[in-house]
Amino acid sequence: MKNKDGKSKFITKDILNTAILESFKKLNPKYMIKNPVMFVVEIGFFISAILTIFPDVFGDKGNNLRIYNLIVAVILFITVLFANFAESVAEGRGKAQAETLKKTRKDTIAKLLQKNGDIKTINANELKKGDIVLVENGDIIPNDGEVIEGIASVDESAITGESAPVMKESGGDFASVTGGTKVVSDWLKVKITATPGESFLDKMINLVEGASRQKTPNEVALNTILVSLTLIFLIVLVALYPMASYTGVKIQMSTLIALLVCLIPTTIGGLLSAIGIAGMDRVTRFNVIAMSGKAVEACGDVDTMILDKTGTITFGNRLAADFITVGSSDKKKLIDYSVMCSLKDDTPEGKSIVELGNKMGCSIDKKRYEDIDFIEFTAQTRMSGIDLEDGTEVRKGAYDAIKNRINKLKGVIPDDLEETVNKVAKLGGTPLVVCVNNKIYGVIYLKDTVKPGLVERFQRLREIGIKTIMCTGDNPLTAATIAKEAGVDGFIAECKPEDKIEAIKKEQAEGKLVAMTGDGTNDAPALAQADVGLAMNSGTTAAKEAANMVDLDSDPTKVLEVVEIGKQLLITRGALTTFSIANDVAKYFAVIPAIFVSAIPQMQVMNIMKLSTPHSAIISALIFNAIIIPLLIPIAMKGVKYRPMKSEAMLLRNMLIFGLGGVIAPFIGIKILDLLITPLVRILNLG
């Protein structure tokens, strides 16, 4: 559900109702033991509840002790509920998104192609990996697969949200199709590559529901620290009881339980799972499928990013920017010949040459060349062109290919040709040399434009210590120019697939975590080698299987945002952990002096807040300990705002905001609660 601004609401009525119900279901000790900190709180609740019925089990005596024990038990129960509620809200947001995705997964019918050529209509759930299906205009693609025949437009809006249909055809990097998408023109034969229940849509539904989520290594490590702190405080309280008895202070069992709950890190213990689920939720709402929580977390630790130039840093379509003559050639003739040999060139480059030529006064009669055969560009010849009826051969192509052609035809290489080619290359462009028979007329300057805003984004990454490396097949001069214009830290020119793997291994050998994007089969080894591999949904199945994240929007630059989401997840966890531990320190100095001040008057110096009675101090601290959890849920869900900065500056900022804030908040909150609770304590005569 979205608000008027088009943004997703933090919590809806349905999510709220479901979260409340789930909060009670999660009280099952079998579930609670997975969160040791909150499990200790639940045990404390059970003991306090028993003491409410049998107040003198441990020999405790006092005015209206049963009421005091009941108050402690109720607050502890609410504390556990609030922790469960935080996790349930995070899961509820994911399940709401999953329900939206499930609507795209209808009871799809598949047209199975049998070996004899007949078509058998079956339910999509009956398809097996390797089956071949026919999908025609208006059909829903029954499962993930590879196009093996045909060409068609596919509407992927149900999954990606992008309204513009995507062209799919066999071969190349755009042969992969996703189950649940719709064919809107022509037909395709698709080889199924996933078994029912294991498609990318199914994986995404499982992940956003939290069904497949496992705790990440960092989360496990932090959980171990929290358990250790809990055990330490438990030992402290066990030692505190005889010390109190020695000084003449009688501490009731329910007070000891309350004191333990106040001192152990319940705040982060209650929010830890919610933070992890919310991190996954933010990634999936960004239309990225993360194969595990570990992949999302790894994004936050990335040190180096390997980026393709074409389509990622630049738009990828090299467009004609100018015609440059060499030797004594006439510019008008250069323009005419350039347009002439590009009329049937359907590539973006060819079309841009014709368009620029027309703007610059091309005078040829295009109808004369309609029946002329076009000689297409090949990797072997590295040139294209036309052969006219009078035997004239017009070619445009790479500098060295045209140079070799002219040498074979005994032509003359203009003295300024190499200088012109290098000049274009230094500008970050691609030079196409134009020749007619054995004469070179000049150079077409093709320019690949750097995407706007990338310079600033690379600067943001640099500020947080992430190095960017651009990979390109361009020559070193062109690569250096584009790298400088884009603001990347390094580049690999004339890059081959194996060069990407070597670059990744080199960075990893230095102890760095590496992220990269890719969409082709030749990118699969590098995607598998990288710590964070982001594959394009439009890419091949091999690339998607090798990566640990898949971008449903097929936007290569999204890796930049994904890294920021990972950073935000780690920052949020660190910030709230800092706040929680600071809270515990503050509660310690707020409660302990209030308990001992009657027996040890010297401790009055430490009773900064001047709390009224030991019981009011305990109850106030317990209430604050409970209500701080739901108050922090919005931060856990939305994440601490990400600001690009060095780790040292980030640590200092978190210490000032969440560390200092975590110390101050309990002093203020507990004092206010004490002022409100003291009259009730006196009325109930709790002592």
Q: What is Dmax (Cα atoms) for the chain? A: 117
Give the C-alpha distances (Å, rounded to integers) separating 426 from 206, 311, 452: 50, 20, 20
**327/47 Cα distance (integer angstroms):** 96
211 is in an annotated binding site: no
**424/412 Cα distance (integer angstroms):** 21
Torsion over CA: 200, 203, 207, 208 (sign): positive
Which element (helix H / strand E) includes 631?
A: helix 614-638
In our burial notation (b when 16+ CB lie closer than 10 A, e otherwise), range 529-561 reads: bbbbbbbbbbbbbbbbebbbbbbbbbbbbbbbb
Of 519, 552, 624, give the one whose Cα is nearest residue 179. Answer: 552
345 is in an annotated binding site: yes
Give the position of tokens 């556990």.
Answer: 80
Which element (helix H / strand E) includes 441?
A: strand 439-447
Q: Are 470 and 433 in contact (CB under 8 A)?
A: no
381 is in an annotated binding site: yes
474 is in an annotated binding site: no
**615/594 Cα distance (integer angstroms):** 9
**257/264 Cα distance (integer angstroms):** 11
292 is in an annotated binding site: no
Half-sphere exposure of 23 (CA within 13 A, CB side): 21
Task: For residue 194, give the amino acid letter.
Answer: A
Of 551, 555, 510, give the one whose Cα is nearest residue 532. Answer: 551
In the set 139, 155, 308, 555, the catalytic residue is: 308
Give the position of tokens 């229940």.
Answer: 197
Q: Characterise 653 by phi-psi region: left (phi > 0), alpha (psi -120 to 50), beta (else).
A: alpha
682 is in an annotated binding site: no
349 is in an annotated binding site: yes
185 is in an annotated binding site: no
379 is in an annotated binding site: yes
589 is in an annotated binding site: no
By three-state DSSP, how is residue 111 classified?
Answer: strand
**432/423 Cα distance (integer angstroms):** 12
**The tokens of 629 are what?**
């959890």
Q: Characterise 451 by phi-psi region: left (phi > 0), alpha (psi -120 to 50), beta (else).
A: beta
Task: For residue 658, give the amino acid letter.
Answer: F
**The tokens of 55 are what?**
């107040």
Could you confirm whether 139 is annotated as catalytic?
Answer: no
**57/297 Cα distance (integer angstroms):** 48
In this structure, the chain runs to a length of 687
**399/403 Cα distance (integer angstroms):** 6
Angle 116-118-121 from CA coordinates, rounded to 5°: 135
378 is in an annotated binding site: yes
Which distant-in-sequence residues (6+ apart) come within 8 Å of 265 by Cβ?
Answer: 37, 226, 229, 230, 577, 580, 581, 584
What positions carry a catalytic annotation?
308
Binding site feature residues? 345, 349, 377-384, 396, 519, 523
Binding-site residues for ATP, in ranges, read 345, 349, 377-384, 396
Annotated binding site for Mg(2+): 519, 523
